[in-house]
A and B are shown apart, each in its own frame.
Chain A
Amino acid sequence: MQIRDRVIEIIAEQAVLEPSDVTMDSTLESLGIDSLGLVESIFAIEEAFDISVPFNANEPEQSDFDISTVAAIVDGVEKLVKEQT
């Protein structure tokens, strides 16, 4: 499965939606994911790809990991997975 599809699957599960309802330009807010849901999604992403995501809930905007849209999250995960190999 592609990274993109797996990330969407994780986010969809957290939002209790079908993966087809999650588009690349969706924001977590628009999907109804709150701060706890965000932290859980990041944990699930870390587990799925065996990576460590630099994210501090106190300063989401300043973290090296962009969470503004689903596309940004997918980009970030792709970069981290690449860095790791």
Chain B
Amino acid sequence: MKKVVITGAGTINSLGQSVPDTLEAMREGRCGIGELEFRDVDRLAIRIGGQVKGFEPEKRFNRQQLSLFDRFTQFTIVAAREAVAQSGLEFSGELAARAGVVLGNSGGGMTTLDENYRTVYEDGKNRVHPFVVPKLMNNAAASHLSMEFNLMGPSFTVSTACASSNHAMAQAFQMVHGGMTPVMITGGSESMLCFGGVKAWEGLRVMSRDGCRPFSANRNGMVQGEGAGIFVFEEYEHARRRGAEIMAEVAGFAMTSDASDIVMPSKQGAARAISGAMADARVNPEEVGYINAHGTGTAANDKTESAAVADVFGAHADALMISSTKSMHGHLIGATGAVELLACIMAVRDGVIAPTIGYEEPDPECALDVVPNEARERHVDVALSNAFAFGGLNAVLALRRVSRN
């Protein structure tokens, strides 16, 4: 099997509109969650989120692109441009024919849906823009990304709610690992912060009105975010031959299904995914220094996830660090695993562990080292990234440090 490495990363989220800005915010424990700004927000009970502000699509895209790109596609392309530029790859000839894109996305073009439902239901109009369908479809982002960079290999979109990105990156990893293609672009994107998107979540009554405090005893729910995280996964020898800068090795992954409940998480399902990822990466539990938690800040997730980690790692659970960066960027739903992989890269590459901010009171049911409130410097060889979706679909990725010569 081929060794798979990451040679490019890009992002846009409420913490920053590039990887360096985002990592700096995570190092400083900054919070990107604030007042939501969009039409009809006054009709919502939940009015906070990790919204991307100061983003000017007109400066990034031409007129035709703007008429075809929903906000989630815009995020994807912005992040992908950063990732591909960093990798230094140009896609032509055989590489273009083999390289593809697999993205994770849960909601699709929610803003487009929202705006056009308004047009026909609220405004009573009987005509919508001709591009509503190509704009809102879940695979629009993956398709536009393939067009932007001339990627003609295997390309599709994976949709598994909050685990979408991890499942997508797992597919890309397997394709490079198995030798199907030397390069894949992967990650995820989401933009649900519009009236209909937040209203739907409000209905479940799991959202916090005042902040995301994962693992803290006084946590009271999740806070949504938006954005994208895009990566270049490349076969190691291919990257080495061209002298590419290697950020980390994608060492393994595992996915499981709880087969039990549509919203409640299961400790066994999570634990099987975590131990499966370590087995796939051939690492011992003691080698894992950091876990980027799913850590949504709901009562149910955080205690179930803590129990799963305690079960899998035994005594080592007290030695490892586990943090939820959702406390800073919010829950990016389908894109969350992609943005959170950045924290894992920072851990294994820079030896900096992103904190769980907003941590106020210890919870005996979440008695792990959650790196409260302040980032930490530690050497980490292996990091895991957890994602546990509604529907009981779990996906865990393992990253390994690549020593630089």
Contact = CB atoms under 8 A, between A and B. Distances in A.
Do A and B come from the same complex? yes
Interface of A: 35-36, 39, 42-43, 52, 55-59, 62
A42 B206 CA distance: 13
A58 B263 contact: no
B204 A58 contact: no
Contacts of A35: 263-264
B205 A39 contact: yes
B371 interface: no
Contacts of A56: 205-206, 208, 220-221
27 contacts: A35-B263, A35-B264, A36-B262, A36-B263, A39-B205, A52-B45, A55-B205, A56-B205, A56-B206, A56-B208, A56-B221, A57-B204, A57-B205, A57-B206, A57-B221, A57-B298, A57-B299, A58-B206, A58-B219, A58-B220, A58-B221, A58-B298, A58-B299, A58-B300, A59-B220, A59-B299, A62-B220
Interface string B189-228: 0000000000000011110100000000001110000000
Nearest to B221: A58
B243 to A, nearest CB: 50
A8 to B, nearest CB: 22
A50 B267 CA distance: 38
A35 B299 CA distance: 12
A56 B207 CA distance: 8
A55 B202 CA distance: 11
A43 B219 CA distance: 23
Nearest to A53: B205
B205 A42 contact: yes
Given A42-B205, A57-B206, 18 more contacts: A35-B264, A36-B263, A39-B204, A52-B45, A56-B205, A56-B206, A56-B208, A56-B220, A57-B205, A57-B221, A57-B298, A58-B206, A58-B208, A58-B219, A58-B220, A58-B221, A58-B299, A62-B220
Interface string B292-319: 0000001110000000000000000000
Contacts of A58: 206, 208, 219-221, 298-300
Contacts of B263: 35-36
A81 B194 CA distance: 31
Tell me the interface secondary structure of chain A in the complex. loop
A56 B219 CA distance: 11
B306 to A, nearest CB: 15
A35 B262 CA distance: 11
Contacts of B204: 39, 57
A34 to B, nearest CB: 8
Nearest to A43: B203
Contacts of A62: 220
Contacts of B262: 36
A75 B398 CA distance: 51
Interface string B39-69: 0000001000000000000000000000000
Nearest to B302: A58
Interface in B24-49: 45
Contacts of A52: 45
Specify which of A39, A52, A56, A58 lies most central, judged by the most chain B CB atoms within 10 Å of its CB: A58
Interface in B71-123: none
A27 B220 CA distance: 23
A57 B263 CA distance: 12
Count chain A CB atoms within 10 A of each CB in B45, B220, B298 and give the residue with the most: B220
A82 B203 CA distance: 24
A42 B263 CA distance: 17
A21 to B, nearest CB: 25
Nearest to A62: B220
A62 B219 CA distance: 12
Contacts of A42: 205
A84 B160 CA distance: 41
Query: Which of B205, B220, B221, B300 is the most central at the interface, judged by chain A CB atoms within 10 Å of its CB?
Result: B205
A-B CB proximity, top 7 nearest: A58-B299, A57-B205, A58-B221, A58-B220, A59-B220, A57-B206, A58-B298
A59 to B, nearest CB: 5
B211 to A, nearest CB: 12
Contacts of A36: 262-263
A74 B148 CA distance: 59
